[in-house]
């Protein structure tokens, strides 16, 4: 698991989960504080290759100041072998005042998006060596933006030495606006991506936090390697609840991962809003365990 606020000197943690009981292990969490992990602040997205052998983590890429290396850590994309996290390396590394980051990757994303400000909150790796970035915010700056459900795609390769390289060209896989008849709340933006390799489905999590109102919705897209060529011909479909209505969460859901083929773990970050349906207290994160029926 990753934390988007500093904790014990790092914003990145590992936490063991009991896959059988779906309960937090009695073992204390071990924190990844050294090496390349120390270069990354405010983790906003994590993913694994479909075969589970590699893990990627990304910052939001929403903070940049060419005169201050202090913000470089908010522009980092990391990769490491799943069983060897201490071998993490920065993808597309460059150095600024002795600080290594992926700041040049940010410049490439900015050129494709055509706007100086954006926020990454989703990351997914698909068959065919494709990497997806989910964009939640897009605009002129952090005060002047619009919430978006936008997915960018780029090819990637891993060589025999475990070096990740990204393709030259980004493309827009999805720029989704929910149908008006769904009557969804304002300020709905992408908050997570997750690919299920066992069912070949891409899941999208969208959330809102306007005027203290929290909520989240789950969507899915059937996946095969021709969808990238058809771009937006197939849009996301809403996940329905047992009552046949659109499935809804009362928290600001921000991360998800499949525990097994049909079990989805969703973790929320309600920021400074306490109480609510989860009874959340400071430093707590509500989570939901969702069974997906096909």
Cα distance between residue 215 and residue 86, in whole Å: 36
Is pLDDT larger for residue 153 or for residue 283?
153
CB atoms within 10 A of CB 30: 11
pLDDT value of residue 196: 94
pLDDT value of residue 55: 93
Task: Give 231's pLDDT tier (boundaries 50, 70, 90).
Answer: very low
Q: On the CB side of 246, how many CA atoms lie within 13 Å of its CA? A: 20
If you average pLDDT over each of 148-157, 225-234, 272-281, which comes out highest?
A: 148-157
Cα distance between residue 232 and residue 174, in whole Å: 6
Strand partners, 21: none
CB atoms within 10 A of CB 149: 22
pLDDT value of residue 163: 87
* Token couple for 89: 């390396």
pLDDT value of residue 71: 85
Backbone angles phi, psi at 66, to 5 degrees: -65, -15
What average pLDDT does the segment 166-172 reach?
A: 94
Fold of 2-291: Tachylectin-2; Chain A (2.115.10)
- Is residue 105 helix, strand or coil? helix
Give buried/exposed letters for 232-268 (b at 16+ CB in 10 A, else e): eeeebebbeeeeeebbebbbbbbbbbbeeeeebbbbb
* Token couple for 271: 């920021």
If you average pLDDT over each of 5-19, 77-91, 110-124, 271-285, which comes out highest?
A: 110-124
Q: Is the pLDDT of residue 172 over 90?
A: yes
Cα distance between residue 223 and residue 132, in whole Å: 13
**DSSP class of residue 111?**
H
Q: On the CB side of 288, how many CA atoms lie within 13 Å of its CA? A: 22
Helices (H), 21-94: none
Q: Is the pLDDT of residue 104 over 70?
A: yes
Q: Is the pLDDT of residue 34 over 80?
A: no
- At 68-86, the pLDDT tens digits run 666 888 999 999 998 888 8
In this prediction, what percent of the chain has a pLDDT beyond 70?
Answer: 83
| pTM value > 0.85 | yes
């Amino acid at each position: 698991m990753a934390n988007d606020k500093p904790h014990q000197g790092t914003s990145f943690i590992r936490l063991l989960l009991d896959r059988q009981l779906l309960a937090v292990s009695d073992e204390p969490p071990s924190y990844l504080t050294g090496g390349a992990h120390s270069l990354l602040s405010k983790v906003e997205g994590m993913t694994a290759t479909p075969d589970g052998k590699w893990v990627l983590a990304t910052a939001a890429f929403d903070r940049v100041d060419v005169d201050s290396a202090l913000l470089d850590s908010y522009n980092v994309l990391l990769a490491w072998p799943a069983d060897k996290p201490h071998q993490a390396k920065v993808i597309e590394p460059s150095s600024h005042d002795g600080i290594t980051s992926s700041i040049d990757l940010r410049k490439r994303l900015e050129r494709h998006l055509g706007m100086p400000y954006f926020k990454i909150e989703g990351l997914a790796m698909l068959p065919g060596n494709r990497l997806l970035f989910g964009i939640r915010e897009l605009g002129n700056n952090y005060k002047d933006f619009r919430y978006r459900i936008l997915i960018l795609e780029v090819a990637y390769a891993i060589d025999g030495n475990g070096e990740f390289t990204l393709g030259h060209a980004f493309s827009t896989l999805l720029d989704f606006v929910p149908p008006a008849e769904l009557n969804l709340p304002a300020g709905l933006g992408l908050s997570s991506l997750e690919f299920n390799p066992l069912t070949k489905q891409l899941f999208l999590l969208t959330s809102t936090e306007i005027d203290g109102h929290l909520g989240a919705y789950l969507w899915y897209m059937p996946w095969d390697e021709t969808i990238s060529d058809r771009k937006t011909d197939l849009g996301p479909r809403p996940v329905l609840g047992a009552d046949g209505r659109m499935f809804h969460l009362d928290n600001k859901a921000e991360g998800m991962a499949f525990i097994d083929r049909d079990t989805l773990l969703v973790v929320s970050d309600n920021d400074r809003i306490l109480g609510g349906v989860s009874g959340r207290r400071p430093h707590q994160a509500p989570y939901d365990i969702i069974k997906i029926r096909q």
